[in-house]
Amino acid sequence: MSENMNRIASQGAGSSENILEVRNLVKYFPIKSSFFKRTIGNVKAVDGVSFNIKRTQTMGLVGESGCGKSTCGRTILRLQDKTAGDVIFDGQDVFALSKEELRKLRPRMQLVFQDPYSSLSPRLPVGEIIGEAVREHGIVPKEEFDDYITRVMDVCGLPSYYKERYPHEFSGGQRQRICIARALALAPDFIVCDEPVSALDVSIQAQIINLLKQLQEEFGLTYLFISHDLSVVEHISDTVGVMYLGNMVEYAATEKIFAHPLNPYTKALFSAIPIPDPDVKLNRIILKGSIPSPANPPAGCKFNTRCEQCMEICKHVPPAWKEVEPGHFCACHLYNNAQEQADAENRMEQLKRDAKDKKETA
Amino acid sequence: MAGKKENSSYISGKESRRITKFNRKVTKKLEHERADANKDPALYTTKMRDENNVVEFDNVCTYFFSDVGTVKAVDGVNFDIPRHATVGVVGESGCGKSVTSLSLMQLLQRPSGQTVGGEIRFNKGDGTAYNIVNTPNAIMEKIRGNRISMIFQEPMTALNPVFRIGQQVDEVTQLHHPEMSEEEVKNRTLEMLELVGIANKEGVYNMYPHELSGGMRQRICIAIALACSPTLIIADEPTTALDVTIQAQILDLLQNLKDKLNSSIMLITHDLGVVAGMADYVVVMYAGRVVEKGTADEIFHHPAHPYTIGLMKSKPVVGQKVDKLYNIPGSVPNPVAMPNYCYFRDRCEMRCDQCDGVYPPEIRISDTHVVSCYRFHGKGEVLGYPKSVNVEELI
């Protein structure tokens, strides 16, 4: 097992330190009219997201439900087509690969799903669930197959006699271990964990989080950890990206973003985390209303409808994605410098004039 | 297959038939007793131990007579809900926290689920109390939704998709106050919608549930629960299905309303953070029993039971960096065959020789702090052992 890992790790050692580069990724889901199947609009699930993940690091992706974090994870793995943008995995453009090349790349990037109750086939025994892809991709020679599966299961804390059992015989935590073993069996470099612990109890959550961390150290894995539980993300991630309505609003190293969140949305989100101490007087920023529909997002900054520090300019001009401090990216008009502010104001005047002209001509 | 004997969920055909026969006998008898609508009120009227409590759970046993054996979901649970207080009930899934609240509402899945022992006393306010366990359905219908009401976990499924919001809130008031005119009922509903922070109340009154977001739906559920100004609100995981920012809104709302309406809240959750922010008293449950109870300060700052300590350590906290999370080894014992020693012994890292004995008694270690653990034996007053019901004797 570990030899396998080392082999793959050494392959990529020569290339850059980023294992994954996502540039301006866009994913729209078309809304079709009922009869002629014409596209009458788009659900802008992911609307221009960029980030890099360094080798053997964990990036946390947080946000409310419907903000596009899961879609982002699935699009990176090319489980669905992109609308625009680039995904570079270990120097290869994932969306430029042919079917054959993509198949070769598949074992190197894996996915662990949220719900361990629905993501395991009830008709296959555990050994087959874990081993199916290993055989298909020819990861190990036929005679070593059985031994290999036993070793993978052992690493994930599953005794080998579970091989003949079926998923319904297991509890949630053990099922999640099976899901992780299934992903790990292909000796991947990169795993997208899509809410892997949110369906589990607190004490089981801790077991799974510890397992993920231990596997990362042992095999040099890279994770994209998607979750809405901020305390879990803080614990496991090296960097954190915050998404709101399809856009990344802030991205920085974990300590930085939790100590000094810049974007008003991030501030509100972090202040809402319940802290298990009755003495901590919560200074919650309570956001009004709920997340707008991604099919018809507000103009300008998408957060302007709920933002406490909303300015005139926010309602018209979307903020630029920029590096406010070294390594701390944020998209918010509050951090514009004089030049950017002037540009944004010009743009706002322009937009207002355009709208007026349009009205007059109409 | 060699696994058959090791596999604890395996039962033979003969055994299965015996269980089914037994279950039918027991549930038939219990259902028969409950069906008697003209029961003598003396049978279900009792007195509160302390007039300042709204509800007292006294050795409540709720069992499920399932096809694989009797599941003791709640087995000798003792705790009180004082007036105007928020009591948080914490525990992992399957620990019996929801079943406790369902027993109080008599909303158990019958006939397999039955409260077979103990008393649940609900304060009438005139010096007497109902013993909910024996209360016939006719009386229960007057209490449920009126004096005690419940907010459910899933606002998506708790509302009926084919009725307008207004109708669903109206229904509660109409049912419990038949003397009110239609106009009055509607005004009451609009008042309620305003109270839970819905700005466009006239508009929402005519909407269907699918037109609202999760947070708004939960507000409607709260409005329904509050429509008759109940003395006790049971909130069963009210924010689990919601996002963090919406959770903050809902918790803030609940806290404010409690003060406005002078109600008590029984808050059931698995999130220690939510409990810390809301509750005055905390009850920690494990495998159908209360392992520790006390004020929020005692539970969070001086946790005594190893399970509570483990639970606190296994949850990552924002702003506190730990290398490795603590995890409680092992898992919950099989609910069909509970051991006769402490249920937590096999997972406990602080066990001592006494732990091999019977299930530990409740020990009072301060005025309000009670723990079931042998580590405190001799360090406080022993309040008594949890009483289990022998199901064989029910027939």
Taking CA atoms, B356 is separated from B72, B337, B365, in Å, by 21, 17, 22
Q: Provide long-range contacts, Cβ within 8 A and 24+ apart, for A249-254.
A: A249/A303, A249/A330, A249/A331, A249/A332, A250/A328, A250/A329, A250/A330, A250/A331, A251/A51, A251/A328, A251/A329, A251/A330, A252/A325, A252/A327, A252/A328, A252/A329, A252/A330, A253/A327, A253/A328, A254/A60
Enumerate the residues of chain A whose CB falls inside 8 A of the CB of residue B297. Answer: 278-279
Contact B108/B115 with Cβ under 8 angstroms?
A: yes
CA distance B198 to chain A (A): 10
Strands B69-82 and B53-66: antiparallel
Cβ contact B325–A284 (<8 Å): no
CA nearest A274 in B: which residue?
A: B273
Contact B205/B189 with Cβ under 8 angstroms?
A: yes
Boundaries of every domain in chain B? 36-286, 295-394
Question: Is it true that domain B36-286 has CATH number 3.40.50.300?
Answer: yes
pLDDT digits (tens, 9 = 90+) for A216-227: 999 999 999 999
Q: Determine the pLDDT at residue A10.
A: 40
Q: How far apart are CA A72 and CA A74, in angstroms?
A: 6
Enumerate the residues of chain B whose CB falls inside 8 A of the CB of residue A278. Answer: 276-277, 279, 296-297, 300-301
Sheet holding A92-93, edge to edge: A39-54, A18-32, A84-89, A92-93
Window 60-89 of A: residues touching B by CB (8 A cutoff) are: 64-65
Average pLDDT, chain A: 87
Window 336-365 of B: residues touching A by CB (8 A cutoff) are: none
> Count of CB atoms within 10 A of residue A36's CB?
7
Q: How far apart are CA A183 and CA A106, in angstroms?
A: 11
Placement of tokens 């000094």 in the chain: A260
Which of the residue ranges A98-107, A290-299, B308-317 would you say has the lowest mean pLDDT? A290-299
Chain B interface includes A267 (CB < 8 A): no
Crossing angle of the two packed helices A202-219 and B306-313, in degrees rounded to 10: 50
Q: Which residues are within 8 A (CB) of A216 and not within 5 positions of it... i.e. 6 or more apart?
A: A56, A58, A223
List the single residue in B271, B311, B318 with the smallest CB-CB distance to A258: B318
> Count of CB atoms within 10 A of residue B21's CB?
10
Enumerate the residues of chain A whose CB falls inside 8 A of the CB of residue B331. Answer: 171, 173
Cβ contact B297–A202 (<8 Å): no
Q: Establish, for the pair of chains A and B, how many residue pairs have beta carbons separated by less than 8 Å.
A: 123
Contact A48/A23 with Cβ under 8 angstroms?
A: no
Enumerate the residues of chain B whose CB falls inside 8 A of the CB of residue A268. Answer: 245
State both tokens at B70.
């009797």
Enumerate the residues of chain B whose CB falls inside 8 A of the CB of residue A269. Answer: 244-245
Chain A interface includes B200 (CB < 8 A): no
What does each of the 395 residues of chain B score in pLDDT, given as a tens digit?
A: 344 444 556 778 898 899 999 999 999 988 888 777 777 888 888 999 889 999 999 999 999 998 888 899 999 999 999 999 999 999 888 888 899 999 999 998 888 899 998 899 999 888 899 999 888 888 888 999 899 999 988 888 889 999 999 999 999 999 999 999 999 999 999 999 998 888 888 999 999 998 888 888 999 999 999 998 899 999 998 888 788 888 888 888 888 888 888 899 999 998 888 899 889 999 999 999 999 999 999 999 999 999 999 998 888 888 788 888 888 888 788 888 888 899 999 999 888 888 888 999 999 999 999 999 999 988 888 988 888 888 888 87
List the single residue in B215, B248, B300 with the smallest CB-CB distance to A276: B300
> How many residues are listed for chain B in this entry?
395
End-to-end CA distance of chain B: 37
Chain B interface includes A161 (CB < 8 A): yes
Sheet holding B45-46, edge to edge: B45-46, B129-131, B113-123, B53-66, B69-82
